[in-house]
Amino acid sequence: MSEPSLSVTDKLRNQFGRLRERIRKMLPFASGVLAALLALFLYHSFVPGSKPLTQNEVSTAISSAMASATPRAPFSEHVYEIIQPSLLLIEAELPGENGDTNTGLGSGVIINRFGDILTSLHVVANSKDIRVTFVDGTRSRARMVSSQPEKDIAVLQAETLPQLFVPAILGNANAMKVGDDAYVVGNPFGLYSSMSAGVVSGFDRSFQPPNTNQLIQGLIQVDAAINPGNSGGPLLNRYGEVVGIVTGIVNPTEQTFFIGIGFAVPIDVAAGGAGLPPY
């Protein structure tokens, strides 16, 4: 006995049932596609005088709607755009072993409306001169106004601020979990405003920077790439909020390149050096 043939409406329902499962995997950007197709279905099903859709018309409508759907931008793109106006390059003149001068590179981030800059203490410690470059190209001398050696944190103030600057949005490091997205934006090897992405690998880590006797505790561990020049820059969550200040990397060799383990001081601790309250 042959099965009864399905009406166009029944075929539509079956088609939409299969489509619904595909769309659920593509949300949220495909939700608009589903709404458009449902509107088309309802119009041709219930508007008097409208012609029933053929199977070819249904397939064509679905293909057209899916082809026009544009997925939303990745979180990393938004994070990069958000942090750009708050990021800066730090150049510090450091005394060399033979009485000469070396230039150290690092990163920093503006954290309040007064233009205070958070960075790592080891970037500017013992420096003869500190210069900062803002995102709009403004260059200025800067001075260190406070520090937390036990956390490798320094607060700088620039002599000249850009006419327009945007303080970073500070997040809540205590709300982070292992596996959360982690983004690092800074100036590795002097490559201005570079971004790397990874995840939070752990919490409450300890780290002793090379050539120091200072053990830094309570750090966030991440696997986003960190290299010389990233120190002092922001660690960000997927919303573009600063959740930490990058402080260093672990490498069992004598080299300084990244092998997958980096650390950041939680922002609630780091911002205390600028007089900001905990989150």
Contacts of 200 (CB under 8 A, 6+ apart): 176, 177, 178, 179, 180, 181, 182, 220, 221, 222
CA neighbor of 77 nearest in space, from 186, 260, 269, 238: 238
Q: Taking the CB of residue 146, how many other CB atoms lie within 10 A of it?
A: 14
Residues 8-66 pLDDT 10s: 556 656 665 665 556 555 555 555 555 555 555 655 555 556 566 666 766 676 666 66
pLDDT of residue 101: 81
pLDDT higher than 70, residue 6: no
pLDDT of residue 250: 82
73 vs 194, higher pLDDT: 194
Domain ranges of the chain: 8-68, 78-274
Cα of first residue to Cα of last residue in the chain, in angstroms, is 71
Residues 166-177 pLDDT 10s: 999 999 999 999
Residues 83-136 pLDDT 10s: 999 999 999 998 877 777 888 999 999 999 999 999 999 999 989 899 999 999
Q: Which residues are catalytic?
A: 122, 152, 231
Does the structural domain 78-274 have CATH classification 2.40.10.120?
Answer: yes
pTM value?
A: 0.74
Pairwise CA distance, residues 279 & 276, whole Å: 9
